Amino acid sequence: MLGKTGVAWALQMSRTSSFLCPYPREVIGLLEPAILRRLQKEKRGQGFGKDYKPFLTVRDVPSKGRIHRRPALTNNRVVHLLSDLELAVFLLFDWQSAVMDIREQFPLNPEATINIARRLGVKHPAYKGVLQVMTTDLLVDFQIKNQHSSQAISVKYAQDLEDERTIEKLEIERRYWEGEGIEWYIFTEHEVPVISVKNIRWLAPHMHSYDLEERERNQAFESIVQVLDANPEERLPVPLKELDAKLGLKPGSNLQYFRHLAAQNAFQWDIHNQLHTSLKAKDITISGYWLAKDIEYVHA
């Protein structure tokens, strides 16, 4: 939930980025009625957090490779990602505690993008002569020490950057966000740390795999802490498998508990440099907050 400063910032962002006010006749004439309905009646690209609706969904456009619909850790909303690369970049931001919102497939004000294209002397994206609303793949909102900021992220495969038309469209997008006073970045597969993404993908689905009450939560946490402390040189699955046998649980049960609690930040390790498959018990750091029972547990 947003505090007072967060609400004020959200209102400011809404005024800055919203363009559901009446369009000039020229823009209305270029937009298909279906696109106008998407922007106005369906309010695509509007809202924050769980209420946000992406302008494009996985049903609306062809994608490069696999498409993904998945719940976001940031706001527990199902997000629409149009490639494996978008998923990888999304996961990097979704895992950061400073991120307060991620809005995917965010539409850009067509009046502004048309004007930018004219100034650049390039064609505005259109299909069969009909103007298309440009979108940014991810709009990420941060809160750091009560200071709010945003970053616009364009996700592109490196080979696409060799295409002149792609560069033209990216320059329109870059200048759009420059005019909004928001930092804009390009992410390719070369900017994505592979180990980080693999670790996050191993943990993220388990964020809400359980909804543990306090007694059950503490019992699982303390049991895992004890078995890790007693077996520092063992690979992670080994002591957890022994704990399953000791408690008469189905094999793999405590590994699932570990993944859930690690997704809740009870257990940590250097996820940027060490893959989960190589973890030993001694590589795991126990959260001081959990040890002190000062826990912010996210219920499903």
The model's pLDDT over 116-144, given as tens digits with 9 standing for 90+, comes to 999 999 999 987 777 888 999 999 999 98
Gap between the terminal Cα atoms of the chain: 16
Taking the CA atoms of 249, 252, 255 and 260 in sequence, report the sign of the dihedral they define. Answer: negative
Across residues 81-103, what is the average pLDDT? 90
Higher pLDDT residue, 36 or 299?
Answer: 299
In order of their start, the domains of the chain are 4-192 (3.40.1350.10), 196-291 (1.10.10.10)
CA distances from 23 to 7, 19, 40, 127, 205 (A): 27, 8, 11, 20, 42
Across residues 211-235, what is the average pLDDT? 96
Q: Specify the residue for token string 């049903």.
A: 59
Across residues 3-19, what is the average pLDDT? 41
Higher pLDDT residue, 285 or 3?
Answer: 285
Across residues 136-165, what is the average pLDDT? 94
pLDDT at position 62: 57
Query: If pLDDT is split at 50, 70 and 90, which confidence band does 42 have?
Result: confident
pLDDT at position 254: 97
Distance between CA atoms of residues 137 and 276, nearest Å: 29
pLDDT at position 32: 62
pLDDT above 90 coverage of the chain, percent = 56
Q: Is 144 exposed, middle or buried (0-12, 13-18, 19+ CB in 10 A)?
A: exposed
pLDDT at position 31: 57
Query: If pLDDT is split at 50, 70 and 90, which confidence band does 161 have?
Result: very high
Contact yes or no for 106/138 (Cβ under 8 A): yes
| C-alpha closest to that of 279 among 193, 190, 203 | 203
Higher pLDDT residue, 64 or 296?
Answer: 296
Residues 6+ apart with CB under 8 A from 179: 112, 116
